[in-house]
Amino acid sequence: MERSFVLPSVFEENSTEFHKVAENFVDGIKIIDFKGKDYIVGNLALREGNAPHKLINTLVKEIDYELLALTGLMIATMGRYTRLVVTAGFPFTAYQSYRKDSEEFFLNRFDINFDSRTYGGYKVEKASFQVDSIEIMTEIEGCVKAIRDGVQQEKNNFFIASIGYGTFEIAQSLPKGIVQRTSESTKGLQYAVNIVENELKKGYYLNLLTEQQIERTFQRGLIVLDRKRIDLKELRLKALTSYYHEVISPTIKRKITNDDFTNTDRLYLVGGGAMYPELVDMFKEEFQSLLDVVVYPEPYLCAGRGYCLQSLSKAKLSSDFESRENTAYVGLDIGNSNTIIYISTPEIMKDVAEN
């Protein structure tokens, strides 16, 4: 079985006793006694919290990363699997400095207390699980893995642009690997969101909304201020246009040479930013005579799926691969906007082993 879950990357300390305020565990996550405090996470934090938040590109040792990572792993167990093989990742800029701490953090046994009453349970329960294996990749490598080994089965050279909230990344992928000279990380969609926020501040009091709450209004293209519905689509288009021409396009021009275009005719767009048609159109307009611009299906899942495929690839090398009935193979993408949990479980092990 293969499944994916999307968890908004926000949390908030909260001691309220909630009773049946969500339909399921993922929508009603409340972690109990995590470093001495209780936290609501994800959708529950957005719905019931006053200031749901997460710092951008946090260190592994900060609570933002630890809480979202462990919540993601707890979701990956699906209440059934106690052993996990995990692959996670970071942007280029953070990969080298964060990798070791991340590996040390994950390779442990965990006991996490959560409140089941939020979705109709009766008590505080405990999830116990162990990470048997962890691999840390760059986000771009994870996306390339998904494109080459997933449904697309891409065999040729291609460019890849990952448009995340915190980071925009570009690289050229050859069958033998990424061309490191072409790799670059720079500002993500946060740049455009900040433009919209600053424009709104000129005429409205934003009621101390957190960065993540502003981002959600950016996604919807609508905000209610002073009891007025304000359509943000035109302002969002202007912000995305500025972001593309001030950040994305110059980055590509700086890193991708004319020679690179001679052997590559396809550009894959991945990440949450690829969900904005107006931004995709800007890529197509600039590269219409050079590249076929392809939006990866459900682009926000791309890195997580690639990480999951890597977990499976690594596990296939083990002699006990086919007999691991209590193990889930996990791709964990802890993003600044959403945390993606992509899971393969024993129901598909036989098919994978035969391929």
For 117-167, what is each residue's pLDDT tens digit?
999 999 999 999 999 999 999 999 999 999 999 999 999 999 999 999 999
Q: What pLDDT score was predicted for residue 350?
A: 47
Q: What pLDDT score was predicted for residue 354?
A: 45
| CA 209 to chain CA mean position, Å | 22
Q: What pLDDT score was predicted for residue 320?
A: 64
| CA 295 to chain CA mean position, Å | 16
Rounded CA-CA distance 77/83 in Å is 8
Q: What pLDDT score was predicted for residue 86?
A: 97
Q: What pLDDT score was predicted for residue 317?
A: 72
Q: What pLDDT score was predicted for residue 345?
A: 87
Q: What pLDDT score was predicted for residue 323?
A: 56
pLDDT tens-digit series, residues 192-207: 999 999 999 999 898 8
pLDDT band for position 321 (50/70/90)? low
User: Are 308 and 329 in contact, with CB atoms under 8 Å apart?
Assistant: yes
pTM: 0.94
Q: What is the percent of the chain with per-residue pLDDT over 90, rounded to a whole number? A: 89
pLDDT band for position 348 (50/70/90)? very low
Q: What pLDDT score was predicted for residue 44?
A: 98
Q: What pLDDT score was predicted for residue 62?
A: 95
Q: What pLDDT score was predicted for residue 132?
A: 93
Q: What pLDDT score was predicted for residue 220?
A: 95
The overall average pLDDT reported for the chain is 94
Rounded CA-CA distance 180/178 in Å is 6
Using the predicted structure, report yes or no on whether residue 353 has a pLDDT greater than 50.
no
In the beta sheet, which residues pair with residue 344?
Answer: 2, 329
Rounded CA-CA distance 346/326 in Å is 8
In the predicted model, what is the mean pLDDT of residues 79-102? 95
Q: What pLDDT score was predicted for residue 223?
A: 95
Using the predicted structure, report yes or no on whether residue 352 has a pLDDT greater than 80.
no
In the predicted model, what is the mean pLDDT of residues 249-276? 97
In the predicted model, what is the mean pLDDT of residues 79-89? 95
pLDDT band for position 180 (50/70/90)? very high
